[in-house]
Structure 1
Amino acid sequence: MSLVELIAEADERSLAASGVACLDRCLPLLVEETDVLRPLWAGIADGEDGWAGRLRSTRAALDDTTAIGEAAAPVRRMIREAPSEWSTEQLCEWATACSALALELHQELDPSGGAAGPLAAGEQRRQVQILEALSAIPGGAGLRRALDLSVEGQRVLRAALSRRARAARAPADRA
């Protein structure tokens, strides 16, 4: 099943987790502290009862952090635009936007460029794996698998950013 189809068929819990996971994987662009979204993951586990409160506290925590670079702005915006209401329609729209943003950022950072590059392809694969895990594995185990995949994606992006920084410094070091 395609990414678009998986998002369209997802329930509220899966949509919220998918959106948070996309943003979670982009955190190395935003802040040094990559656990800032962990309370929001707990809000997903609590469902409708825990989502809005955890979302408020996560937004406040992010407001207290210093952004690393210019790519942080769209990630911050997507967290601010997360719906407080636990509704399929609103969460689907938000999860779709988070998916598109994560794919776009990974494409921009991909050393080979474009959607066919390894960084972008890996991001798309992780998005599909997360939605499949959430639909196939009930309860907290599905969320745990989604979080594990998200942490793996953070490591991959952090490594890509490190390689990019070294490559940018290399010409200056030779001068």
Structure 2
Amino acid sequence: MGLVELIAEADERSLAASGLACLDRCLPLLVDETDVLRPLWAGIADGEDGWVDRLETTRATLDGTPVADEAAAPVRKMIGAAPSDWATEPLAEWATACSALALELHQELDPSGGAEGPLVAGEQRRQIQILEVLSANPGGAGLRRALDLSVEGQRVLRAALSRRARAAQDSDDS
């Protein structure tokens, strides 16, 4: 099943986790501290009761964080756009937008520069894996695996950012 179909069939918890995981993987663009979204992950585990309060706390934390890179602004914007309503339609719209943003940012950072490059393919694969894990484990049981996949994606993005910085430094030195 493809990414669009998986999002269309997902429940609220899976949609919230999918959108958050996309942003979590892009977090290295925004902040050095990768645990800033952890309270929101816990809010997803609590369902509707934990989502709204933890969403507000996360937004407040990120609002106090300076944006060092222009590429980080859309990530912050998408966290700000997360719906307070724990309902399928707004969460599906948000998860779809987060998915598109994550794929776009990975494409911009992909050394091949194409939509079929290794960074983009890896990101799309992680998005599908996360939705599959969540749909196979309803009630929050798949959240730990989704978080693990997201952390793996953070490491990949950090490595890409590091390579890009080294290449820029090398070109400045020559």
Normalising by structure 1, we get a TM-score of 0.97
Q: Residue in 1 aligned with 2:61? A: 61
Report deviation, 1:139: 3.6
User: How many correspondences in the alignment?
Assistant: 174
Report deviation, 1:96: 0.2
Alignment of 1:78-89 (within 5 A): 78-89=78-89
Do the aligned partners of 2:83 and 2:91 also contact (CA within 8 Å) in 1? yes
Alignment partners' CA distance in 1, 2:48 and 2:146: 19
- What is the letter of the counterpart of residue 38 of structure 1? R
Where do 5+ consecutive residues of structure 2 fail to align? none
Q: Residue in 1 aligned with 2:10? A: 10
Q: Residue in 1 aligned with 2:160? A: 160
Q: Residue in 1 aligned with 2:19? A: 19
Residue 76 of structure 2 aligns to a residue whose secondary structure is helix
Hey, which bits of structure 1, 4+ residues long, moved more than 6 A? none
Q: Percent identity?
A: 83
Where do 5+ consecutive residues of structure 1 fail to align? none
Q: CA RMSD in A?
A: 0.8
Alignment of 1:2-151 (within 5 A): 2-151=2-151
Range moving further from structure 2, 134-143 or 146-155: 134-143
Report deviation, 1:131: 0.2
Alignment partners' CA distance in 1, 2:172 and 2:77: 34
Question: What is the CA deviation profile of residues 134-161 of structure 1, one whole-angstrom value per residue up to 9, with x for unaligned ones?
Answer: 0112344300000000000000000000
